[in-house]
Chains A and B, each alone.
Chain A
């Protein structure tokens, strides 16, 4: 089998730039969320539709991002 419908896009979530990557393999859509900088995958989900996979992955990502604090740098 081959990965189908691979798509990658950037958006902002909870104040952070993220990248949403989705592809279909067999009957399942896989969505992963990466932070743009440094580019680490930190949330993912799989579902029968692209929309549902992305919705679940983004919901997880938002929860995780809410725990990232910005600290004073001086």
Chain B
């Protein structure tokens, strides 16, 4: 298993060890309060992992405060997990790496596997001794902005990977079924390849093996020689693919385009490819 992944068994044994902090980050921000891994902190992606005034990642000072109050210092091993196969846990992982945290890992299978295995849960929030955290960065080599994506699309200099569902890729739907439409146009960025994020995972929520993942991406011509930019609708599903490509397959140049389809699909004059 890659050293950025830990099993549910490992977490059950080590969640409260000194130097370890388990953190739950869910799409459904009420899930943590329903029951979480004993000792785990909970972060709300809608208020705590972003800039709430500007559409942006969490500002450096806010990240330092969040980590500090979560009992995390620069040497802490952070174990992330969450619902929906670690969608927003990956989003947190991506941001922590941008701000230079050394040791971040993901609980393979996330909340889904923990629940399915009938493991211990608590609704008690842990009392965490505050620590001082000093962030660096952000390292923007991990993040793609619109101009770079436009150049990649026009010049084919980077592989664009659209991780949304096939129906979103073709423009048949503008958002995942049951969720609000957040764009004016459906379709995909010209030149993008459709490799839905779910193909990274097994039925139990764990990540597929490196060999399976290599075959998945290699089969679509994404081999790691050229830069890769992953995108979805708001940047969280593409964080999973970013994580897979960078940390499970070891690609050197992988960026997450968090502007994603909510930016591109609303942009005046942006070319859109269908289906």
Contact = CB atoms under 8 A, between A and B. Distances in A.
Interface string B95-118: 000000000000000001011101
A74 to B, nearest CB: 7
Interface of chain B, main secondary structure: loop
B153 interface: no
A37 B120 CA distance: 29
A10 B198 CA distance: 16
Contact of B198 (A8, A33, A39): A39
B178 A4 contact: no
B186 A71 contact: yes
B178 A40 contact: yes
Interface of A: 1-4, 6, 8, 16, 18, 21, 23, 25-26, 30, 32-35, 37-44, 46, 61, 64-65, 67-71, 73-74
Given A37-B198, A41-B28, A69-B181, A1 B173 contact: no
B178 A43 contact: yes
A74 B121 CA distance: 49
Given A37-B166, A73-B275, A1 B177 contact: no
A25 to B, nearest CB: 5
B172 A71 contact: yes
B164 to A, nearest CB: 6
Interface string B27-48: 1101000110000000000000
Given A37-B198, A41-B83, A1 B120 contact: yes
A65 B176 CA distance: 10
A32 B28 contact: yes
A9 to B, nearest CB: 13
B179 A40 contact: yes
B66 interface: no
Nearest to B236: A40
A60 B166 CA distance: 25
B177 A16 contact: yes
Interface of B: 27-28, 30, 34-35, 83-85, 87, 112, 114-116, 118-123, 164-168, 170-181, 186-187, 196-198, 237, 274-275
B118 A68 contact: no
Nearest to B83: A41
A73 B83 CA distance: 31
B118 A3 contact: yes
B275 A41 contact: no
Given A32-B28, A69-B173, A73-B275, A38 B168 contact: yes
B112 to A, nearest CB: 8
A68 B34 contact: no
A32 to B, nearest CB: 7
A6 B115 contact: yes
A10 B55 CA distance: 35
B35 A3 contact: yes
B178 A61 contact: yes
B196 A38 contact: yes
A73 B274 CA distance: 6
A3 B196 contact: no
Contacts of A37: 165-167, 176-177, 196, 198
Contacts of A61: 178
Given A6-B116, A69-B181, A42 B176 contact: yes
